[in-house]
Structure 1
Amino acid sequence: MTFLSRVLGLLRDVVIAGLMGAGAAADVFFFANKIPNFLRRLFAEGAFAQAFVPVLTEYHHGKSLSDTRLLIARTAGTLGTLVGVVTLVAVVLSPVVAALFGMGWFLDWYNGGPDGAKFELASLLLKITFPYLFFITLTALAGAVLNTMGRFAVAAFTPVLLNVAIITAAIYVAPKLAQPEIGLALGVFFGGLIQFLFQLPFLKRAGVLVWPKWGWRDPGVVRIRTLMIPALFGVSVSQINLLFDTLIASFLQTGSISWLYYADRLLEFPLGLFGIAIATVILPALSARHVTESLDDYRQTLDWGVRMVVILGVPAMAGLIVLAEPMLMALFMRGEFAASDALRASWALTAYATGLLSFMLVKVLATGFFSRQDTKSPVKYGIIAMASNMVLNVVFAIPYGYVGLAIATALSGTINALLLGTVLYKQGVLALPKATLVFFVQVVAAALIMAAVVVWFNPARELWIQAALLERILWLGGLISAGGVTFVASFFMLGGRPRHLRTEH
């Protein structure tokens, strides 16, 4: 279900690129979509879910159904009220929100500059997109309840509906409007509403569909609030970085936010499929080994996670770097998305890709702390990385513009990975035996050979521009296939074997 959602998310971006390109309207739409999504990570599936699920699980297994229903009702009422107020205030004061996070556009509007229209459009679109926060928060709560009841497929499938709603709006609604971006914003609004309504019948079938009640001082709600505080800091780190990037990008040339968005979407595909998946797999295994105090088994499991990230992340990183522009051309270059947009987005993707391995390692290494019930250390190092990112943003954005923001993001991810890895190594939890270091060298060498082969066979840029859509897709598929075969063959020639991807336990 998650893979299906990722694929439809990519298709959604393809449709949006053809409709909007990377101009001023696209910049504003991505801006208006990003702000409520930032708060979603706090109120919805991020910090809230991490705090709510353990408490709900305890009620579900240790108390009566009526007690569980009461906790759900009071949590829904309390969270729904708070988020509802935040949403209402943001809709009414959308110009203030737009000025806060799009300071460059606001100053241009205030001084009568050419980008003032972006500020006015952002204020309008935020009124349409911000209610998504309310719907998705309740959707996340419903999904957490269903997961706790052992019904995982419903919550995993639900994000597909958002992508379907936006794609539908992009195809059937937006082209009929004088301002297509308003149609896309309506797609976000209805996507959030549909996701919420979709889960209600399943809640009723599970016997936990309840009417929300205010319960600020309910013991269960108090525990959830208490648990949310450290989680809020942890989840906020990366989101604050993204918002700071957006703030700086509002001072840069038109298209900057869009180019960064398209580049980030391609980066997120391997990160979500590989990095997050591996971290999800090893967390319960590490937790079990910590409980049984099997240090050798624990080290082997964490070492396995690192090796899996390396063998998947290094070639993915090399592939994104050498095929950045061809990928963007094959996926997005149609309609309003021009070859010049593909070129500029490829610069950002190349910069982002240099940090892909670091981003994936952060996901895996953090489990070395979470599995030992240490939630504070990753937050501390994440804050250091966030502060580094802010400084690096200013340092690199001045000479390199929006590409500098991507460079800063990649470097801060590397700083975070080094901090986590160094501490785990000093604690004796991360062993990094000689065999793993040899394995790393073999993978890097194989990836370099792969990159050289792909560059050798890659058609000239002019041919990519002139080629038809089907030709570009076939070329890209051929290059990726050739790269994959070359990497595997090179890895074997250099001494790599399947047994290096297994643990003894």
Structure 2
Amino acid sequence: MPPESTLNRSPSFGSHVLRFASGSLVSKVFGYARDAAMVAFFGAGWLSDAYYAAFRVVGIFRRTVGEGSVNAAFVPALAAEKNAGRAREFFSAAWTLALGASALLCLAAFIFRRELVLLTARGFASDPALLGLTVLLTAVLLPHVVLVAASAMLQGALNAEKRFFLPQAAAASFSAAVLAYLGLAASPLGADFTMEQKIIGLAAAASASGLLQCAILLPAAARAGYLPKLSNPLSNPAAIRLLAMSLPALLAAAQDQLSLLVNAFFASFMEAGSITAIYNAARLTQFPVSLFAAASAAVALPSLSGGLLQRDPDKFRSTLDSAFRLTAVIILPATAGLLALAMPVTRALFEHGRFTPEMSALTAAVLTCLSVGLAGYAFNKLAASVFYALGDLITPLWVVGLQVALNAALCFALAPSMGAPGLTLATSISSLAAGAGFALLLARRVPGAFRPGFGAFLAKTLTAAAAMGLACAGGARLMADTPPLAAAALLVPGGVWMYFLLLRAMGAGGARELLGLRGREER
């Protein structure tokens, strides 16, 4: 590795996760501001449905590759290159390969953009204007795929060096570009343009934002010894192996996004605003998953890779235990909180401008059903990361394939009676089933993966989360007439305080200890 490698430093697992999560928090805060501004400006109707349907395909690639999932194959391969010169050569070859592959993907998607839209939003075929706008927006957004691939390789290189904050925070450039554009569109400068023209401009701003993300990451990557250069990937066997390894890893990492793509397909036959409701609900559930489950998976991957299970099985299981506990201590209360506060949180974040109370009701119902599976989404990301670290890219692919198939079957069963909420309930059930499958396979592959004491810890966490959820639900009923922003501002931090207080009372530890920010007592 380059001389300034940080791979041998040993800050706590929780500290690394905190850096990753802090960077993600910056990106997520900007993201929620972007989404709130988007629906306030355009509402939740056919225009926003067209944009989100067009963005769904690009968004799968952006979230799957851009939010650390490239680490699944790239980080272990880069970490295996012990020589600094060979590491740089491998990085340049992999970067060139990623650019070339994403450019070919972008070109193919552009040529077949109409067919792609019909595949993912078949219900739009009955409305030529809606279909035409979605096809156009897809074409405008597609170049973003190439820029995401370029920035993802820079992000992966920095993560391999255990530099986690900047790669995650840089993703805020996407939201910053969109917010800047919406500000211009709402100003007198945008007065002469129609709403259709403005949403096309929005797609252009979103597409170009990848340039800003690359510009933010490039100096840090260069300082770490990874200045990207075009090179012949065929001359580097490791880069070719990376391509073969990346395809199943990326498909597996896209589990939740593929499920939401299935949901969007069914939602395209439903009332206007259904796709937008699913998108906004998914954004809220992705907050704790991206902040902590994805962080735990990304931070654990470099530590678990390279044959650690054979060299030091105790350290492997200890790292795994830390990841499981940190994920559980955040995801379980997040589930309870979203179930209890779906309506006030939705109203506080989105009910502004053209976003009506009826839109809030639909979004909250969709969010409630999607929140049921939050633990499944989180655990699946972490479990898949463990299999990647063990060099097994096929097992996660099988589990995810079965999960997506089950999701589609459940959508057929639930959509007629439940509408859009039935689609997200299907996603929750299938994700929890996949989580159960991952747990069984992981216990067989890594005996002792769930260490003694984890069951008791999980029981305490579930008890505290359930009590917090009930208290928040009661508080929401009492504050039904309170402005939603004020209600959310009181209930959310109050629920967090109550949850950690209950955990401490049950002997599970304080917040800093539970989050891994200081050493735990021997369990």
Which residue does the alignment assign to 2:147? 135
Query: Cα offset for 1:477?
Result: 1.6
**Of 170, 187, 199, the match for 1:158:** 170
Alignment partners' CA distance in 1, 2:343 and 2:116: 34
Does 1:28 pair with 2:46? no
| 1:273 CA drift (Å) | 1.7
Q: Distance in 2 between matches of 1:479 and 1:45?
A: 29
Counterpart-to-counterpart distance in 2, 1:437 and 1:205? 44
Look up the match of 1:122.
134
Matched, 1:408 2:426: yes
What is residue 228 of structure 1 aligned with on the other side? 246
Deviations 1:323-360 (CA, angstroms, capped at 9, x unpaired): 00100111111101111111110111111111112222
Matched, 1:5 2:5: no
Aligned to 2:73: 51
Give 1:416 deviation, angstroms: 1.1
Q: Give the 5 Å matches for 1:314-393.
A: 314-393=332-411
Q: Which residue of 1 aligns with 2:493?
A: 481
In structure 2, the residue matched to 1:81 is: 100
Amino acid at match of 2:246: M
Per mean C-alpha deviation after superposition, the further-off stretch among 477-486 and 403-412 is 477-486
Summarize the Cα distance change of 1:55–1:25 in structure 2 as closer, same or farther, 3 Å threshold. same
The aligned length equals 487
Asked if 1:422 is matched to 2:440, the reply is yes
Question: Which of 287, 290, 300 matches 2:309?
Answer: 290
CA pair 301-124 structure 1, distance change in 2 beyond 3 A = closer
1:248 corresponding residue in structure 2: 266
Residue 471 of structure 2 is aligned to residue 453 of structure 1: yes
- Higher gyration radius (CA): 1
* 8 Å Cα contact 1:44-1:138 kept in structure 2: no
- Return closer, same or farther for 1:235/1:453 CA change in 2, 3 Å cut-off: closer
List per-residue Cα deviations over 1:105-152 (Å, max 9, x = no partner): 12x0xxxxxx33210110111121111112222222333345557766
The question of whether the paired residues in 2 share the 8 Å contact of 1:40 and 1:46 is answered with no
* Higher deviation after alignment, 416-425 or 332-341: 416-425
Q: CA deviation at 1:385?
A: 1.6
In structure 2, the residue matched to 1:184 is 202
Q: What is the one-letter code of the residue matched to 1:430?
A: A
Q: Which moved more, 1:363-372 or 1:346-355?
A: 363-372
Aligned to 1:91: 110
- After superposition, the C-alpha distances for 1:31-53 in whole angstroms (9 at most, x for unaligned) are 11121222346776666554344
- Alpha-carbon distance between aligned partners in 1 of 2:242 and 2:194, rounded to the nearest angstrom: 46
CA separation in 2, counterparts of 1:475 and 1:213?
56
Q: Aligned partners of 2:66, 2:301: CA distance in 1, in Å?
A: 21
- Rounded to whole Å, the distance in 2 between the matches of 1:186 and 1:198 is 20
Structure 2 CA distance for partners of 1:488 and 1:29, relative to 1, 3 Å: same
Q: Provide the C-alpha distance between the structure 1 equivalents of 2:77 and 2:457, rounded to a whole number of angstroms.
A: 42
State the distance in 2 between where 1:234 and 1:227 align. Answer: 11
Counterpart Cα distance in 2 of 1:26 and 1:17:
7
AA partner of residue 144 (structure 1): G
Change (3 A) 1:218 1:354: same
Between the aligned partners of 2:324 and 2:162, the Cα distance in structure 1 is: 30
The one-letter code sitting in structure 2 at the alignment partner of 1:222 is I
- What SS does structure 1 have at the residue aligned with 2:170? helix
Counterpart of 1:101 in structure 2 is 120
Distance 1:245 1:494 in 2: 40
Q: Is the CA contact 1:446–1:491 (under 8 Å) kept in the aligned structure 2?
A: yes
RMSD: 3.1
Distance of aligned partners of 1:152 and 1:360 in 2 relative to their CA distance in 1, 3 Å threshold: closer
Measured in 1, the distance between the counterparts of 2:348 and 2:263 equals 27
Moved more, 474-483 or 115-124: 474-483
Equivalent AA in structure 2 for residue 142 of structure 1:
L
In the TM superposition, residue 233 of structure 1 has moved relative to its aligned partner by 3.7
Structure 1 residue 238 displacement after superposition = 3.6
Q: CA separation in 2, counterparts of 1:202 and 1:491?
A: 39
Query: Which one is further off, 336-345 or 269-278?
Result: 269-278
SS at match of 1:463: coil
The superposition leaves residues 160-204 of structure 1 with CA deviations (integer Å, 9 ceiling, x where unpaired) of 211110111111136623123223212212212322344455566
Which structure has more relative contact order (CA 8 Å, sep 6+)? It is 2
Alpha-carbon shift at residue 240 of structure 1 (Å): 2.7
**Cα distance between partner residues in 1 of 2:430 and 2:436:** 10
**Structure-1 separation of matches of 2:442 and 2:92:** 41
Contact 1:174 1:183 in 2 (8 A): no
* Matches of 2:225 and 2:471, distance apart in 1: 58
Task: Please say if residues 285 and 374 of structure 2, whose CA atoms lie closer than 8 Å, have aligned partners that are also in contact.
Answer: yes
TM-aligned CA distance change 1:322 to 1:256, over 3 Å: same
Secondary structure at the aligned position of 1:323 is classed as helix
Q: TM-score scaled by structure 2?
A: 0.83
Taking structure 1 as the reference length, what is the TM-score of the superposition?
Answer: 0.85
CA 1:452–1:334: 2 relative to 1, 3 Å = same
For 1:286 and 1:193, locate their aligned partners in 2 and report how far apart those are by CA, in whole Å: 32
Q: Which moved more, 1:323-332 or 1:352-361?
A: 352-361
Cα deviation for residue 227 of structure 1 reads 2.4
Q: Distance in 1 between matches of 2:97 and 2:333?
A: 46
| Inter-CA distance 174–221: structure 2 relative to 1 (3 Å threshold) | farther
- Separation in structure 2 between the aligned mates of residue 436 and residue 408 of structure 1, nearest angstrom: 29
Q: Distance in 1 between matches of 2:170 and 2:201?
A: 21
Q: How much has 1:10 moved relative to structure 2?
A: 1.5
Pick which of 495-504 and 381-390 moved more.
Answer: 495-504
Hey, what's the Cα distance between the residues in 1 that align with 2:278 and 2:451?
Answer: 35
Mapped to 1, the partners of 2:64 and 2:299 lie a distance apart of 24
Is the 8 Å Cα contact of residues 37 and 179 (structure 2) preserved in structure 1?
A: yes
**Alignment of 1:219 onto 2:241:** no
1:422, 1:145 → 2: CA distance?
32
1:18–1:333: 8 Å Cα contact kept in structure 2?
yes
1:128 partner amino acid: V
Give structure 1 stretches of 5+ with no counterpart.
109-114
- Identity fraction in percent: 26
Shift in alpha-carbon separation, 1:436–1:46, aligned structure 2, 3 A: closer
